Amino acid sequence: MRLFPSEASSVAPEVDHLVLFLIGLSLIFIVLIFLPLVYFAFKYRRGTKADRTPPRLAQWKLEVTWSIIPLLLMMGVFAWGASLYFHIERPPADAFEINVVGKQWMWKVEHQEGVREINAIHVPVGRSVKLVMTSQDVIHSFFIPDFRIKQDVVPGKYTTEWFNAAKPGSYYLFCSQFCGTDHAKMIGRITVMEPPAYESWLASNSSGGTLAVAGAKLFTELGCSGCHGANSKVRAPKLEGIYGKPVPLEGSVFQIADDKYIRDCILQENHLHVAGFQPLMPTFKGHASEEELMELIAYIKSLGRTNPEEDVNLEGTK
Ligand code: HEC
Ligand SMILES: [Cu+2]
């Protein structure tokens, strides 16, 4: 029997150190408080001849001591916890992306290379992986105990989570948000492989097109290219190079063209209209699945990207 799951990601030991420190600190204070409590309960119980004259201590010194010491300890724990939280929440700039769509009751996974999986993710060891996640029905939560990471997966939003797997192996993936009848069956496996094994896994499973290529196909099929294409008669904004840049919207506001922004444009949610254009774009709500939206985003991301390095910079500024 094991008390803790294995520490299989770069942040796992850091999380454990904090947890163990908190448990240790609590134990120290439990002993400091309860040992004297029990001792005094016996010493001063009714009928004993203990000396009950109040002690002549400088009260304020005591008060200040037991206020300042816990305050410093708690502020220390706060600083430690906050910095660890930011570390866990902010994916490193060089992380590569994998898309995840949760639904009752499975995890659908799409790699940028176009490989699809269900209830499984294959990743290389020692590389930072960023999961871009959404749900097509209710709130789910993506939880890998061995990696010490958990993040809600919310319909209509993209949430992210990252990890850097520390050792090859197979690790459980759970949904940790009660999401309906078969919630308990929403279980998957993370397979961490040595980079060469991962490369050959990718090569043998990819069916050709990358996510961006699938998105390009959809872009034509759904008629986006009819308006946004080079020879279109409709005045629609160019989509080349918009990803990650601020877009001027009606009413003199700017919004960064990130995944959520592009998703909102395609579904025409939140009344986003680009400044200087007629609001002619139809909504594609109900015409594109969550996976297809992610493919369209991958395609728009790939547009006008001349320098692969740019990728990293854009991620870094988010
Ligand atoms: C009928 C023409 C038309 C079609 C079809 C169309 N769009 Fe648009 N699109 C527009 C217009 C006009 C705007 C600018 C006005 C606005 O934002 O409402 C726009 C805005 C956008 C924006 C925001 C651009 C920016 O500069 O911030 C994105 C992203 C976008 N469209 C993507 C798509 C995708 C993806 C599809 C296909 C699923 C699509 N559009 C289909 C006309 C169209
Ligand atoms: Cu779930």
pLDDT in tens, 156-209: 899 999 999 999 999 999 999 999 999 999 999 999 999 999 999 988 887 778
Query: Which pTM was predicted?
Result: 0.82
> 268 to each of 277, 286, 313, how far by Cα in Å?
14, 12, 28
Residue 105 phi/psi, 5-degree rounding, is: -135, 80
Pocket-testing residue among 222, 228, 264, 295, ligand 1, by greatest number of atoms within 8 A of Cβ: 228
CATH of domain 1-46+90-208: 2.60.40.420
Among 129-133, 220-224, 262-266, the range with the most confident prediction by mean pLDDT is 129-133
For residue 57, pLDDT over 80 is answered with no
Residue 275: per-residue pLDDT: 85
Parallel/antiparallel/unpaired status of strands 187-193 and 169-175: antiparallel
pLDDT, mean of residues 74-88: 96
Indicate the residue type of 171: Y
Q: What is the DSSP code (8-state) at residue 165?
A: B
Q: State which H helix or E strand residue 74 sits in.
A: helix 59-89
SS3 content of the chain, % helix, strand, coil (to 5): 40, 25, 35
Mean model confidence pLDDT for the chain? 88
Residue 271 C-alpha to ligand 2 middle, in angstroms? 30
Q: Return the pLDDT at 231.
A: 78
Please, what is the angle between helix 59-89 and helix 12-43, to 10°? 160
Handedness of CA 298, 128, 160, 197 (dihedral sign): positive
Residues in the chain: 318
Q: Where does residue 112 rank: exposed (0-12), middle (13-18), buried (19+ CB within 10 A)?
A: middle
Instruction: Say which CATH architecture domain 211-317 belongs to.
Output: Orthogonal Bundle (1.10)
Q: Which atom of ligand 1 is nearest to the CA of 280?
A: 12
Question: What is the predicted pLDDT for the residue at 310?
Answer: 42
pLDDT grade, residue 306 (50/70/90)?
low
Q: What's the pLDDT tens digit per position in 2-36?
A: 788 999 999 999 999 999 999 999 999 999 999 99
Whether the CB of 234 sits within 6 Å of ligand 1: yes
The single-letter code of the amino acid at 130 is K
> Is the Cβ atom of 293 under 6 angstroms away from ligand 1?
no
Can you give the pLDDT at residue 35?
96
Check pocket membership of 257 for ligand 1, CB cut-off 6 A. Answer: yes
Q: Count the Cβ atoms, other than its own, within 10 Å of residue 25.
A: 15
Choosing from 227, 253, 269, 302 the residue with most ligand 1 atoms within 8 A of its CB, the one to mutate for a pocket test is 227
Ligand 1: residue whose CA is nearest its atom 16: 273
- For the chain, which residues make up each domain, given as ranges? 1-46+90-208, 211-317
Span 90-131, pLDDT tens digits:
999 999 999 999 999 999 999 988 899 999 999 999 999 999
Which has the higher per-residue pLDDT, 193 or 316? 193
List residues bridging with 274 in a β-sheet. 249
Q: How far is the CA of 185 from the centre of ligand 2 (A)?
A: 9
- The token duo for 269 is 């949610």
